[in-house]
Structure 1
C-alpha cells in the first residue's frame, strides 16, 4: 500500500513531470498521454479536474476527473466521474489506482454526487478486472470502443 499518497494540482512547477509520465509500453495504446488530458482540461475549464498522484515526493500517476458533463449532449444526462487514470510504469499493483478512484469518489461526494462514471477498453489487455474489483458495473453503454461503467456511491 502507498505510504503517503496524495493528489497534487498541476502547476507550472510540475508540468514537465506531469507530461513525462509514462505507463507500461504494452498499455500505451489503451490510454491518452497526459499532455492530451491537460489540453482537454484547458478547453473544459470547471469540468475537468486533472491531478498528479504522488507518494511522498514521487509522482506515481495521473488522474483526471470530470464533474457534471452533459453525457448525451441533450441536457438531460449529467454525469461525474473518472476521465483518465494513468499509473506510471513500475508503480502498478501498489494501491495507487484504488487511491485515485477513492479520491474521485470523495470529490464527487463533496460536490453532492451519488455516482461515479468511467470508461475503459474491454479485452484481455484492458483494466476491466481492476474496475470490476472496485465495484463498478458495466451499464451496457459504450463510448466509442470503450465500456461505460458506473459505481454507485453510498
Structure 2
C-alpha cells in the first residue's frame, strides 16, 4: 500500500547508493537500463534530464527520469519540443503497488508546471513489455519509432 508520504526527490550524495541499488525483476532487466546508466545519461544530458528517486516514507522504492523540453527532430521542425518519461525502474519487490502510476503522474505534473501539454514515452516491445501499463495510463501510440521502440503520447489536458 502506498503511504501518504510518497514523493519524488532529487538524487543526492545522501541517497545515491540507495537509488543505485534499485533493481527491477530479472525478467525485466532487458527492458530498462540500470539506474547507474540513467544517472550517467542525466549527467551528460543535464539540460534536459530530470532524474528522481521515488520514495515512500523513508524507503526508496524506485527511480524515474524524465526528459524535459527536448527538440524532437530538428531536421523537420527545430521548434518541435517534447517532454516525457525517459526511464522508470520500480524495485522488484515493490512492483504492482501503484508506484509506477504515481511516478508517471508526478512527471506529468512537472511537465504541466513547465507549460507542456503532452507527455511522451517509449518502450521495448515483446515479452514482458511495459506497453500494457502505459496504455492503461492513457498513452496512445503515435505510429513513430525512436530507434526500435514505439513512441506513445499522453494528452495532459
Aligned-pair distance for 1:112? 0.5
User: TM-score w.r.t. structure 2 length?
Assistant: 0.94
Distance in 2 of aligned mates of 1:27 and 1:73 = 33
Matches within 5 A, 1:3-152: 3=3, 4-74=5-75, 75-152=78-155
CA distance in 1, matches of 2:20, 2:72: 27
Which residue of structure 1 lines up, in the alignment, with residue 2 of structure 2?
2
Q: Which runs of 5+ in 2 are unaligned?
A: none
- Residues in 1 aligned to 2:144 and 2:28: alpha-carbon distance in whole angstroms: 23
**Distance (Å, rounded) in 2 between the aligned partners of 1:127 and 1:99:** 15
CA deviations on 1:110-132 (whole Å, 9 max, x unpaired) are 00000001101122310011001
Q: Distance in 2 between matches of 1:42 and 1:93?
A: 30
**Secondary structure, in 3 states, of the residue corresponding to 1:150?**
strand
Q: How far is the alpha carbon of 1:73 from its aligned partner? A: 3.6
- Distance in 2 (CA, whole Å) between partners of 1:68 and 1:106 is 14
Instruction: State the TM-score, normalized to the length of structure 1.
Output: 0.96
- Root-mean-square deviation (CA, aligned residues, Å) is 1.0
TM-superposed CA distance for 1:18, in Å, is 1.3
1:7-47 Cα shifts (integer Å, max 9, x gaps): 11101111111112100000000000111111111111121
